[in-house]
Structure 1
């Protein structure tokens, strides 16, 4: 009973941090160059997250619950308690210290560390494939951002262009919301499913759980938007509306293309890649390259730190449950 309560509390905290970290970043970038209200954009994002399992299934979530390690149900619950809890604490600590981070990388590393400390053999091959795809995705976003940026320069000036641009902006953000729901957001559903439904995901979408995830995510997103405004991504270049739109389309393509294969990819990293590509399409001097270094720090710090934190949390839980 104690493990169940702790896991449920951890799941809610994990979803909240996802909203603050991921949702806040997406909202801040979208609101900055749009005349539309933040409430409308938040509604679109939350609807996409809540309807994600119905629209796209749970392929990516099943990667977290079944493809990164194998063990009995009780052990799996301890792994997720240790992994999700450690990743939340790590992201909060790194954010407090001003170190760029990624919750997706933190939870992947923490789950692997928890597996090891709890005597479960991680699926190193699957984990390696996930990390390889996660490394390539921002580069794909960069290439797509460059291509879309160049294409934007070739568009002729048309009558009613402001209205066309406004529609394209909303479409780009909508695509980004759907891509996030299809891929990166599903780490939340994996943790929630293990906490509230046992070791397996529901065969059909769980509407009550989906609504709960969406509500907690929305609260986190509203809390995190202002904090994220000071992040490295927002300083990569002096953005204009068409550049934000190009980056959103580019990151959507990079993230959505991997969802069907069950490969979790960080949306915020893909957005950063899209912004870099869009900036380079106007010349390399448009990009403030010094702000790309923190994005590399995410991989060099968050992933190994997540592994260590997850392993320590697993050892603590192992000792506590053996008393």
Structure 2
């Protein structure tokens, strides 16, 4: 029962951390209202895993083995530690990578409990996660330059719809599946039953409603002096980076990709548009996330496993 409650809480916090970030880039364009955007995002989070759930399987079976004795306990510890780290950073208005926190928590809990951990897969996931913000930034830089040439004000609204939908599909196919993975462990199933994905999507949506103001403010106002063009370019860049990772089953953080996309879009029109001090603060939060979640999960898992009869 505890692991199910933790899985539900994890979905809500994912919405708080990720939902605001996904909606933030387009807040200065009125054609995708936050309520409509959130509804689209929730529906896609429920439906897209029915077509592909490879990223969820990476969390469940490729990073560490949670099917043996103590697997559910270790996963519960991993999620709790990830939530604790992200919640502290969110409270300071610094949206970080919940995906990075889960990877750290899963690795640390696996080591602490003595479960088989695939260091090769962990290293590969971390490498792809490190590259994704740069790919998102480069793609957003190119998208910003392209949009300046091919579109005007009214046309930008159509590009915004396309970029937003791409971003939402990418999130549902990749980053959102960390929530499905936790429920896979909690309930002991494989695949993506529509009842579970719908429940995950609703919990995610509730968290996103709560977290939109803070995460949205950080990404849409603090990183760059944002204009609508930058938001659309960031949507396109981050969406391409994350969906490409999903095609090979590699979990990456949409929050990181969006931040990279905003920086890339800003740099395309001069580095002075980027508020580098805010970008550095977010990067520092990322750098703290993995070691903090891994170390805390390893210590707590070792203590709990040692105290178990």
Bin of the TM-score, shorter chain as denominator length:
over 0.9
Uncovered stretches (5+) of structure 2, i.e. residues with no partner: none
1:1-323 paired onto structure 2 within 5 Å: 5-55=1-51, 57-70=52-65, 72-97=67-92, 100-155=95-150, 162=154, 164-196=155-187, 198=188, 200-202=189-191, 205-231=192-218, 234-322=221-309
- Length-normalised TM-score, structure 1: 0.91
Determine if contact 1:138/1:269 at 8 Å carries over to the other structure: yes
- Deviation string 1:223-244 (CA, Å, 9 cap, x unpaired) is 1001213425631111111210
Determine if contact 2:23/2:216 at 8 Å carries over to the other structure: no
Structure 1 vs Structure 2 CA RMSD: 1.7
Determine if contact 2:95/2:215 at 8 Å carries over to the other structure: no
CA distance in 2 between partners of 1:189 and 1:88 (Å): 16
Determine if contact 2:19/2:212 at 8 Å carries over to the other structure: yes
SS for the counterpart of 1:34 is coil
Determine if contact 1:116/1:122 at 8 Å carries over to the other structure: yes
CA drift at 1:267:
0.4
- Deviation string 1:155-190 (CA, Å, 9 cap, x unpaired) is 265xxx51x322221121111000000110010000
- Length-normalised TM-score, structure 2: 0.94
Determine if contact 2:65/2:116 at 8 Å carries over to the other structure: yes
- Deviation string 1:109-150 (CA, Å, 9 cap, x unpaired) is 011110111011321111000000000000001110111111
Uncovered stretches (5+) of structure 1, i.e. residues with no partner: none
